[in-house]
């Protein structure tokens, strides 16, 4: 089955700096890669996702890049703000259209220091 | 639109007991997935149901089971509880279309096994 590794497990940055979280996956059939953000005591929420036919996707201060050959994808947050502090999870899945099983990474605790 | 609702939110059980957790998906969502969240382990996939059928199952022992009803509500059951079953159990619902892959999570049921 799919295996997703996520690094680093913890990350502290100064407010205004950039943060990068990296994930690798094992199953070359995976074609969908979402990122979820979980604030303390809250439910995980999708912040951005990318499909395997795209190399990069941006949404304001957040971007995700995908390297299919190397089987890794990364989350980039620019101009970090205190409200970006949360646990971020990457995930991978193959999308048959009729069934989906997301495999999540172990999470990165991001702390933005004021 | 109401979000995903999980009950109970908190519960305490003792080893050997069994527990049933409930999940009501967003109206119109027919896919319901269950995840176990523990510190350092991220989100571990338990199973996914669609139209009362289990389509995918993660690598958990047979003590973990689930079902889905005709109204898409789902329950999961853990029998013969062990200390290691202490975790936050998250339910997520989604559309089943490839272009709508986002998982909408509930707030979770926090299980403590003593």
Written as tens digits, the pLDDT of chain A (114 aa) is 789 999 999 999 999 999 999 999 999 989 899 999 999 999 999 999 998 888 999 999 999 999 999 999 999 999 999 999 999 999 998 766 555 678 999 999 999 999
Separation in Å, CA B3 to CA A9, B42, B91, B94: 29, 22, 11, 11
- B19 forms beta bridges with B78
Nearest C-alpha of chain A: how many angstroms from B20?
Answer: 20
Distance between B26 CA and the closest CA of chain A, angstroms? 14
Of A49, A97, A101, the CB nearest to B56: A101
Start-to-end Cα distance in chain B:
37
A window 7-66, beta carbon within 8 A of B:
9, 32, 34, 36, 42-46, 49
According to DSSP, the residues that pair with A49 across neighbouring strands are A34
- Is residue B35 a contact partner of residue B89, using CB atoms and an 8 Å limit? yes
Find the radius of gyration of the CA atoms of chain B. 13
pLDDT digits (tens, 9 = 90+) for B49-100: 998 999 888 899 999 999 999 999 999 999 999 999 999 999 999 887 656 6
In chain A, how long is the greatest CA-to-CA distance? 45
């Amino acid at each position: 089955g799919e295996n997703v590794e996520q690094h680093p497990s913890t990350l502290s940055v100064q407010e205004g700096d950039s943060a990068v979280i990296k994930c690798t996956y094992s199953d070359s059939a995976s074609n969908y890669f979402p990122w979820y953000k979980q604030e303390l005591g809250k439910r995980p929420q999708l912040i951005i996702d990318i499909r395997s036919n795209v190399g990069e996707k941006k949404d304001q201060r957040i971007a995700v890049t995908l390297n299919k050959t190397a089987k890794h994808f990364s989350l980039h947050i620019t101009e970090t703000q205190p409200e970006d502090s949360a646990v971020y999870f990457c995930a991978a899945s193959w999308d048959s259209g009729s069934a989906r099983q997301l495999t999540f990474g172990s999470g990165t605790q991001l702390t933005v220091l004021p | 639109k109401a979000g995903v609702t999980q009950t109970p939110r908190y519960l305490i059980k003792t080893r050997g007991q069994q527990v049933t957790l409930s999940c009501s998906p967003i109206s119109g969502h027919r896919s319901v997935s269950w995840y176990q969240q523990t510190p350092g382990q991220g989100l571990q996939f338990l199973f996914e149901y669609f139209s009362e059928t289990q389509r995918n199952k993660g690598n958990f022992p047979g003590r973990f089971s689930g079902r889905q009803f005709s109204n898409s509500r789902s329950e999961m059951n853990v029998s013969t509880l062990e200390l290691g079953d202490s975790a936050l159990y998250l339910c997520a619902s989604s559309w089943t279309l490839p272009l709508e892959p986002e998982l909408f999570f509930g707030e979770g049921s926090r299980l403590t096994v003593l």
